[in-house]
Amino acid sequence: MSLAVVGARYPNRDGSNRRFEILLCETGEPVDLRPEPKNKRDERAVAVYSTRGVQIGYLTAERCGRIGGLIREGRELQAVFQAPSPFGAWIRVAFDGEGPSVEDRGATEDAPEEPDFYPDEIWPDD
């Protein structure tokens, strides 16, 4: 499943730059998804961190509920960096022991400022 990572224009609390960190990420590099139940804006928020432990953004509000729920259920989830985009980045996620495949969908360079399409299935609770 391809997921958009948004919020790259905002600085991290420690002063690190999300866009700069995205530029350091390589295709296929692992990323970490961390639910933030104490997030003041959205208790369903899921932050995305690079392999170096620097936050690069958040999953979109439309996807964080389902993905965060799977993480809280203890489902095995693997995520990798796919590509930078004008709004932040794309990542690939696989579930239940499967490894995510990095696909070139041609969507990363021609994508709009904010993602408004979902290249994979829509979950029942969305």
Give the domains, in start order, of the chain with CATH numbers: 2-95 (3.30.70.2330)
- The pair phi, psi for residue 33, each rounded to 5°, is -105, 125
Q: At a CB cut-off of 8 Å and minimum separation 6, what does 73 contact?
A: none
Residue range 94-102: average pLDDT? 86
Type of residue found at 97: G
Q: Using pLDDT thresholds of 50, 70 and 90, give the confidence band for residue 114.
A: low
**pLDDT at 18 exceeding the cut of 60:** yes
Task: Report the phi/psi class of residue 62: left, alpha or beta, with left for phi > 0 and alpha for psi in -120 to 50.
Answer: alpha
pLDDT at 107: 45
Q: Is the pLDDT of residue 124 over 70?
A: no
Predicted local confidence at residue 99, as pLDDT: 86
The pLDDT, as a whole number, for residue 123 is 58
Q: Is the model's pLDDT at 91 over the cut of 60?
A: yes
Nearest to 59, CA basis, from 27, 92, 86, 26 = 92
pLDDT digits over 26-71, tens only? 999 999 999 999 999 999 999 999 999 999 999 999 999 999 999 9
